[in-house]
Amino acid sequence: METPLTSAEPMLWSGWGDPAKAAELPAPVRDLLAELLGVRAPAVPAATFGEVRLPPVALPPPVLAALATVVGDEHVRADDDARIRHTRGKSTPDLLLMRAGDASDAPDAVVLPGSHDEVAAVLRLCAEHRVAVVPFGGGTSVVGGLVAARPGFAGVVALDLARLNRLVSVDPVSMVAELEPGLRAPQAEQLLAGHGLTLGHFPQSYEYATLGGFAAARSSGQASAGYGRFDDMVAGLTVATPRGTLEIGRAPRSAAGPDLRQVFLGSEGALGVITSLRLRVHRTPAVRAYEGWRFGSFAAGTAAVRRLAQEGPPPTVLRLSDETETMVGLAKPADLGAAGRDSGCLLVAGFEGAPGDVAHRRDRAAAVLAEAGGVHLGPEPGEKWAQGRFSAPYLRDSLLAAGATVETLETAGFWSNLPRLYDAVRLALLGALGSPLVMCHISHVYATGASLYFTVVTAQTADPLAQWAAAKRAANEAIVQAGGTISHHHGVGRDHREAYAAEIGDLGGEILRGIKERLDPAGILNPGVLIP
Ligand SMILES: Cc1cc2nc3c(=O)[nH]c(=O)nc-3n(C[C@H](O)[C@H](O)[C@H](O)COP(=O)(O)OP(=O)(O)OC[C@H]3O[C@@H](n4cnc5c(N)ncnc54)[C@H](O)[C@@H]3O)c2cc1C
């Protein structure tokens, strides 16, 4: 067993990430946003920590005392600080509510188990007392995956898995490592690096999200073209449920019936608590090389990306920005005003691995991209992207403070349908918000299709929550009508539950409710999340 040497700074309670990295928006950018989008500073300043409104603790003291007998007094916390930091996730609506001082969805208490057996005992106890349990990893959900429905329950606890943070074992022959779910991604990488290994999972939430959360929400990282999605990495799981423990996955592939791993990948805390993960690992790459290519249009770039995905071998990172995202990313602030669509489209290709392998894949990709009309821009745009790859969420906080509404959403579809999906979502967002900036990129590719990831920036209205709710509703309807999936990697949570129900149909919903009833008869696990 190995534990991490470092623990991340606690996340900013009303925003993203490490408070020390919070950055002011430069004055020229603020001026430009005012000119271009009509962004004005919000009339009401953000609440301070002391101004946050919390509901009283609803859980009876005997239940809190019983929980403390399982995990220890110091690991049951009902203080304001712990409750506020476990309120909701990190979507823009979540942040807007916290900035308004609204912590009405706070759990009554935060429980920190130290082992699988403690998790199992907490679940039994909560089932007995009808206490809702929200499994809590890094708290970075952007789909409302961390808010339990209260009706019918004596209270809600957040089950924070941070103490389950060990590297349990490494099997260097099979290239499989067993790790606990509460490890944040950088901690897991640090522990694996001691063995010359990496997971290769680098989502934009990398600094704070956990391994359990990646599995429970089917995460996909920026290097998914090379290392795969997180659910592809999972060889086995241990899951605690109110009905008992499941050990799943005893071989790399199996024909022994349906794969029960798939029941828990994407289960978002509603079917069980993942307490251990057996994950495929890779040797730490000796070489990392990122570079940029320019395409005349998103359509031309998409065709090139499809060829790479289908004919391979693909780069480790493959990311194509549309015209607007390219322009915003490349522009000096002064150039933005032109708002033209003539900057072309930037493609970033990154290669990681052994020197010979990187050289081969790079040459092959260069041949395909050049043949598809790409112009090689050299390493600078690629390196620039790699350096700033985790900084955008900090910018969101600055934009919110400046009076802009900024949020992301994503979907996926087959290649033949991707242009239709792209147009439908873009038009829906433009229609709902007036004249926002709508940017998009492709960064998760498959032989058969890809995901589309949209970022929207617009001036906040007097009610930014209602403003975004209307835009999100329009985008969801467009996704459903255009044949996309309601989520490629953010998950379902509460926000996509209705659209997910439509996607899987009545019988699909019935199957999920049946599984839930069997594993969680009292319905305490994350009620209101995922299950239609
Ligand atoms: C700024 C930002 C950038 C992001 N970028 C990406 C990205 O690039 N790619 C991507 O895929 N996602 C991204 N996300 C979404 C989010 O980070 C992922 O969904 C991630 O997988 C959540 O991990 P977490 O540890 O924070 O889980 P949490 O948010 O704590 O939980 C997510 C869900 O899983 C459940 N859960 C957590 N741990 C367990 C467990 N051990 N057992 C059972 N259920 C559990 C929770 O109850 C909840 O429903 C981003 C989010 C933000 C805020």
DSSP output for 187-204: HHHHHHHTTTEE-----T
pLDDT at 96 over 70: yes
CA 3 / ligand 1 centre spacing (Å): 21
Q: How confident is the model at residue 23 (pLDDT cuts 50, 70, 90)?
A: confident
What's the pLDDT score for residue 340? 46
What's the pLDDT score for residue 8? 65
Q: How confident is the model at residue 30 (pLDDT cuts 50, 70, 90)?
A: confident
Residues 129 and 226: their CA atoms lie apart, in Å, by 46
Instruction: Please state which of the ranges 11-25, 76-90, 259-273 shows the lowest mean pLDDT.
Output: 11-25
Q: How confident is the model at residue 166 (pLDDT cuts 50, 70, 90)?
A: very high
Average pLDDT over residues 65-94: 98
The percentage of residues in the chain with a pLDDT greater than 90, rounded to a whole number, is: 89
Q: At 237, list the tokens.
A: 């799981």
Task: Answer for the pair 98, 52: CB distance below 8 angstroms, yes or no.
Answer: yes
pLDDT at 478 over 80: yes
CA 302 / ligand 1 centre spacing (Å): 28
pLDDT at 361 over 80: yes
**Beta-bridge mates of residue 452:** 411
pLDDT at 6 over 80: no
Q: How confident is the model at residue 337 (pLDDT cuts 50, 70, 90)?
A: very low
Average pLDDT over residues 491-514: 97
Task: Answer for the pair 111, 36: CB distance below 8 angstroms, yes or no.
Answer: no
pLDDT at 338 over 50: no
Q: How confident is the model at residue 9 (pLDDT cuts 50, 70, 90)?
A: confident
Residues 520 and 526: their CA atoms lie apart, in Å, by 10
Q: How confident is the model at residue 336 (pLDDT cuts 50, 70, 90)?
A: very low
Average pLDDT over residues 429-443: 96
Residues 55 and 33: their CA atoms lie apart, in Å, by 37
What's the pLDDT score for residue 509? 98
Q: How many CA atoms lie within 13 A of 392 on its CB side?
A: 17
- Cis before 313 (ω within 30): yes
Residues 392 and 16: their CA atoms lie apart, in Å, by 10
Task: Answer for the pair 194, 224: CB distance below 8 angstroms, yes or no.
Answer: no
Q: List all residues whose CB is within 6 A of at least one atom of ligand 1.
A: 16, 89-90, 134-142, 145-146, 161, 181, 203-205, 209-210, 212-214, 216-217, 219-220, 268-269, 273-274, 393, 489-491, 526, 529
Mean pLDDT score of the chain, rounded to an integer?
Answer: 95
Which atom of ligand 1 is nearest to 181's Cα? 41
Mutate to test the pocket of ligand 1, among 146, 205, 227 (most ligand atoms within 8 A of CB): 205
Mutate to test the pocket of ligand 1, among 140, 268, 444 (most ligand atoms within 8 A of CB): 140
Q: At 183, list the tokens.
A: 């490890």
pLDDT at 18 over 60: yes
